[in-house]
Chains A and B, each alone.
Chain A
Amino acid sequence: DAGVTQSPTHLIKTRGQQVTLRCSPISGHKSVSWYQQVLGQGPQFIFQYYEKEERGRGNFPDRFSARQFPNYSSELNVNALLLGDSALYLCASSLWGGERTEAFFGQGTRLTVV
């Protein structure tokens, strides 16, 4: 069975540029969440989507946006990149967005901003 897949795996961008990260959830999963993991820290929540609607947003600036498509895949967009946006971006999928369900993570996209 395919797990959560993210693309690309690595990305190098210049300050001020824009980036789009993509995620395909496990088949049958309807909830997708995005997390940012800075080196040496635990993942920080960015967004959650369930059935194509935003269900939660973390403490990130408006430069960060996301959406979920009818096939439940998702994109995370970051505009006006800053050096501090360099991190591992993780996508997680779960059956639904409830508190009892575990989330399954992709391998992440390593974003480097230079």
Chain B
Amino acid sequence: AQSVAQPEDQVNVAEGNPLTVKCTYSVSGNPYLFWYVQYPNRGLQFLLKYITGDNLVKGSYGFEAEFNKSQTSFHLKKPSALVSDSALYFCAVRDDQGGKLIFGQGTELSVKP
């Protein structure tokens, strides 16, 4: 069965510093991986996806993610964090039947000035 894990409940970063939000996955076939961000009392916003090809995927708002097949990881990164990046981040994988998204528990990112 497909699954993702986000090992950190919370990540704290100073504004201007690089940030990393970790995600590991377990799949039975090809991994189709996604990152979403959720601001308080809002729905999820799509950031980026990995389907195939380059291991470094670029997305919205300056975010990127690095796919690593040997480590079964898909970490979200940004070179310089903004206070406005503070939010809840979810990693997700598509079910191997192509339907549902399976989400991790989420990581709360806090960026301090």
Contacts and interface: CB of A to CB of B under 8 A. Distances in A.
Interface stretch (B14-22, B41-49, B67-75, B77-85): B41-49
B98 to A, nearest CB: 4
Given A41-B106, A42-B105, A105-B36, A97 B98 contact: yes
Interface residues of A, number: 27
A90 B100 contact: no
B85 to A, nearest CB: 19
B41 A45 contact: no
B53 to A, nearest CB: 12
A42 B103 contact: yes
Interface residues of B, number: 27
A56 interface: yes
Given A97-B99, A99-B98, A43 B49 contact: no
B99 A55 contact: yes
Interface string B40-68: 01111110010100000000000000000
A56 B94 contact: no
Contacts of A44: 103
Contacts of B103: 42-44
A90 B44 CA distance: 9
Interface of A: 4, 6, 33, 35, 41-45, 48, 55-56, 58, 90, 92, 97-100, 102-108, 110
19 contacts: A33-B101, A42-B92, A42-B103, A42-B105, A43-B90, A44-B103, A45-B100, A45-B101, A48-B99, A56-B95, A92-B44, A92-B101, A98-B98, A99-B32, A99-B96, A100-B32, A102-B46, A107-B42, A108-B43
